[in-house]
A and B are shown apart, each in its own frame.
Chain A
Amino acid sequence: MNETKTAFKRMKDLPSTHLLGTGTPMCAGCGGLQAIHEIYDILGEKTVFVNAAGCMTLLSVYPFTPFRGSWLYTSMGSAPAGAQGVRDALDILIQKKRIDSRENLNVVVLTGDGAANGIGMSATSGAIERDLDFIYICYDNEGYGNTGQQYSSATPHAARTATSKGPRGFPGYKKDLFSIWASHKPTYVATVVGAEPVDLARKVEKSKKMKGPRMLIALSPCPTGWDFNPMEAVEIGKLAVRTGVWPLKEYADGKVVHTKIPGRRPPVEEYLKLQGRYAHLFRPDRNETLLREIQARVDAYWDGVE
């Protein structure tokens, strides 16, 4: 990333007043809301959100909304299609001079990992193919959180969810949404986390200046679904980055760049052991096989990054 062009070099460059309103129904300590409030500050008020069903649809329950502009609710599978309609409508209105081009809005899709990795995937793929000018924000809490944390295709291997309660947790592996997006050759794809707000701000700033399909995947530590003390949400987000579980990276111009390469990575279990969803890996006995497998997969990922 071109360091000289960013307005966000350190924490002090981040906004100290916030656009997102208080009083939302999200859980205390919600990592998704944290990322969204940080993203919204950089995106600015001229944003229209197209929100697929999920936790965040509870943000706007009539007559309450934390947003400063419009918000559209869609089914889980159709947020990118909704965004297409909003984008087209804005373009036509501007073209016919029914609204001033200064009234143009950023069209932003907001969905959870369930819609982004699973139910909404075909609409997403189509929208990228049509080169739709929009930003997609996925708050990834690695499961269907709003209905009680059933597993989604973003659930990591071995995590306990409401639908994977066995001694080895979720048998599948987290889908690589970043690569799925990148393989479509869109304008921009990035991973972010609210616990690394400067990195997040730079990526939002950068994507905001671009045109075409852009994706921000925000790891969203979820106290309710991941079973941890809400006050540890930021610590867990930071550990996800430091241990290498959540690589911070971006794709643009056909290239993937890691924006924060952890130096000496602490063992992944530092991250896992803070979360109740992994408690079965430590108690009553340590599951060395699974712990080693998880560590080996993270190591293998970083071996490939150089």
Chain B
Amino acid sequence: MKTASRILGTALFLEGFEVQDAPRYGAERRGAPIFAYVRASREPINERGIIRQPHLIIVADETLVPVPAAGVLSGITKITTLLVHSFESPETWQERLNTPARILVLPAADTVEEREDIPFVGTACAGAAARLVGEISREFLIEAIHHELAHLSPDIVQKNTEKAMEAYDLMASHEGYIKEDGDFSGGAYEKPDWVDLPFEEARRSAPAIHAAATSVEVKTGLWRTMRPVIDFEHCNRCWWVCSTFCPDSAIELGEDGFPEIDYDHCKGCMICVAQCPAHAIEAVAEHKPKAHAAEGVES
């Protein structure tokens, strides 16, 4: 997404805008949310820092929406357009989120073959954003992509460009949704409502945890894009190889000796799929387990 923000920023710059683009990281690891901001104006920009009231929010991974740490809905207002890269329809998202924002969907790859396109989702998002802004021409978008991806091989750049232009064309009917408006001068700054926190006794306010393994409250199952599914007809109730190797303690044995996968916490690393001695665990695209189950495999 950092690259997507740079592509969008560079394209706006080529169009003559003043631009800021900046990524914000937490931990640099897989599954951690990453944010990138683009701010553009015809006038010099004096504003700094994160964007508190975005006109456009792009969500490249729909599973981030319910993750509090990702905060994808923070600062959303009726001037906001929310573009979600998703399998679901805009109506479904409207119902789920009940937000005043306009919601658009950039359709996500639906088949396992199409999933090879996932690495290009960043440029697709940049392409969609370029069209929504309505101020970026096809030529400058391509130039920006080539500029930002100059370190990659020509065929990868080509593939990225195609994906970006596909998304650009897909958003044609929403061209110019995002308008340059709003007063962002210092004078228009509204102080946030301060919340006074009373001084507490150390015993009450000190960060002590008195329960064991509270991390189970964190549903890391949301990270998954692929789901391991055990075929119990072929599982030979071995020496719980899957359970020993699962880094996340997310596989335990049931009373009948069959392993059970804790889908609330399984992160989808698929080590169990690779290590099952009987090859009885299969990887299934996360949004299709029901269809898969209907084909005769229990989930």
| Contact among B30, B209, B250, B270 with A231 in the assembled complex (CB-CB below 8 Å) | B270
- Nearest Cβ in chain B — how far from A222, in angstroms? 9
* A30: nearest chain-B partner, CB-CB: B247
* A260 to B30 CA separation, bound complex (whole angstroms): 32
The A interface is mostly helix, strand or loop, or mixed, namely loop
- Does A69 sit at the interface, judged by CB under 8 A? yes
A234 touches B216 (CB 8 A): no
* A33 to B28 CA separation, bound complex (whole angstroms): 16
| Contact among A18, A66, A197, A230 with B30 in the assembled complex (CB-CB below 8 Å) | A230
- Does B45 sit at the interface, judged by CB under 8 A? no
| Contact among A22, A38, A68 with B265 in the assembled complex (CB-CB below 8 Å) | A22
* A12 to B220 CA separation, bound complex (whole angstroms): 28
A29 touches B247 (CB 8 A): yes
A67 touches B247 (CB 8 A): no
Query: Which of A57-65, A90-98, A288-296 lines the interface with chain B?
Result: A57-65
Query: Which of B78-86, B165-173, B176-184, B237-245 lines the interface with chain A?
Result: B237-245
- Chain B residues near A28 (CB, 8 Å)? 30-31, 223-224, 247, 267-269
- Nearest Cβ in chain B — how far from A32, in angstroms? 8
- Chain B residues near A38 (CB, 8 Å)? 244
- Nearest Cβ in chain B — how far from A6, in angstroms? 16
* A31 to B29 CA separation, bound complex (whole angstroms): 13
- Does A24 sit at the interface, judged by CB under 8 A? yes
Query: Which of A145-153, A178-186, A203-211 lines the interface with chain B?
Result: A145-153
- Does A138 sit at the interface, judged by CB under 8 A? no
B210-238 vs A, Cβ < 8 Å mask (1 yes, 0 no)? 00111111111001100000000000001
- Does A16 sit at the interface, judged by CB under 8 A? yes
Query: Which of B3-11, B88-96, B138-146, B271-279 lines the interface with chain A?
Result: B271-279
- Chain A residues near B212 (CB, 8 Å)? 21, 45, 65, 67-69
* A144 to B136 CA separation, bound complex (whole angstroms): 40
- Chain A residues near B245 (CB, 8 Å)? 34, 194-195, 197, 234
- Name the interface residues of A1-46: CB closer than 8 Å to any CB of B: 10-12, 14, 16-31, 33-34, 37-38, 45
- Does B27 sit at the interface, judged by CB under 8 A? yes
| Contact among A14, A33, A234 with B248 in the assembled complex (CB-CB below 8 Å) | A33
- Does A169 sit at the interface, judged by CB under 8 A? no
* A55 to B264 CA separation, bound complex (whole angstroms): 22
Interface residues on A, range: 35 or more
Contacts A18-B249, A29-B269 given; does A64 touch B29 at CB 8 Å: no
- Does B293 sit at the interface, judged by CB under 8 A? no
* B212: nearest chain-A partner, CB-CB: A68
* A7 to B239 CA separation, bound complex (whole angstroms): 15
- Chain A residues near B270 (CB, 8 Å)? 29, 230-231
* A148: nearest chain-B partner, CB-CB: B28
- Chain B residues near A69 (CB, 8 Å)? 212
* B206: nearest chain-A partner, CB-CB: A62
A224 touches B30 (CB 8 A): yes
- Does B252 sit at the interface, judged by CB under 8 A? yes
Contacts A28-B268, A63-B209 given; does A146 touch B244 at CB 8 Å: no
* A33 to B245 CA separation, bound complex (whole angstroms): 10
- Nearest Cβ in chain A — how far from B276, in angstroms? 11
A27-B31, A66-B249, A146-B29 given. 4 additional CB < 8 A pairs? A11-B241, A28-B269, A231-B269, A231-B273
Task: Point out residues on A near B: beta carbons under 8 Å.
Answer: 10-12, 14, 16-31, 33-34, 37-38, 45, 55, 58-59, 62-69, 145-149, 194-195, 197, 223-224, 230-235
Which 10 interchain pairs have the tightest Cβ spacing? A21-B213, A29-B269, A22-B265, A231-B270, A23-B218, A28-B267, A28-B269, A68-B212, A34-B247, A12-B239
